[in-house]
A and B are shown apart, each in its own frame.
Chain A
Amino acid sequence: LAKTTQPVSMDSYEGQEVNITCSHNNIATNDYITWYQQFPSQGPRFIIQGYKTKVTNEVASLFIPADRKSSTLSLPRVSLSDTAVYYCLVESAGNMLTFGGGTRLMVKP
């Protein structure tokens, strides 16, 4: 099972772009990289998933270099409501998700 490492916390200001990098040196060939967001007392919410290169959706972009040993979640122009914990998951075979400690993002006015 690939282990992920991401910053414990980050601060940002409204309107800024936020990049959260996750390292996963032992990622396996079949692993996908998935990011979830969690607000206090709520269930995790899917943000984005990718396998390689770049993926973009309406809320975020995910950059994955060729070696796939890291990934960067990019949140454009954050607002106060983006204050949450962001989890990077590397999903291996099977159905269970393994959550790490996540990155606690604080967006300030």
Chain B
Amino acid sequence: EPEVTQTPSHQVTQMGQEVILRCVPISNHLYFYWYRQILGQKVEFLVSFYNNEISEKSEIFDDQFSVERPDGSNFTLKIRSTKLEDSAMYFCASNFRGGASDTQYFGPGTRLTVL
């Protein structure tokens, strides 16, 4: 069964550094997403991406965040200047049609630790 993959599984960085989290969505999917989950808290939506542009974003997704699909397979989340409160699990997800009835498939996550 095809699956979403994410690298690295764990990223440790110093406050103020830039990090790039990488995702390879399922190959025929067209909609891509990033979510995050701070330890012990809810899964929170960050951004959705379709046709090479952001389609929706949450209040969390401020100017420090950006997303990119640099080639035909990768989907990345960049945090320009990390803060302590960015420490969380970051999940990538994808689906084919988008919308309410199409299942989103999640990757295993990247644990980001900001020191």
Contact = CB atoms under 8 A, between A and B. Distances in A.
Chain B facing A: main interface SS: strand
Interface stretch (B14-22, B78-86, B107-115): B107-115
A44 B106 contact: yes
A99 to B, nearest CB: 4
Contact of B56 (A30, A96, A100): A96
Contacts, number: 62
Interface residues of A, number: 25
Interface in A66-93: 87, 91-93
B42 A101 contact: yes
Interface residues of B, number: 28
Nearest to A34: B103
A46 B56 contact: no
Contact of A46 (B48, B103, B108): B103
B44 interface: yes
Nearest to B57: A96
Nearest to A93: B100
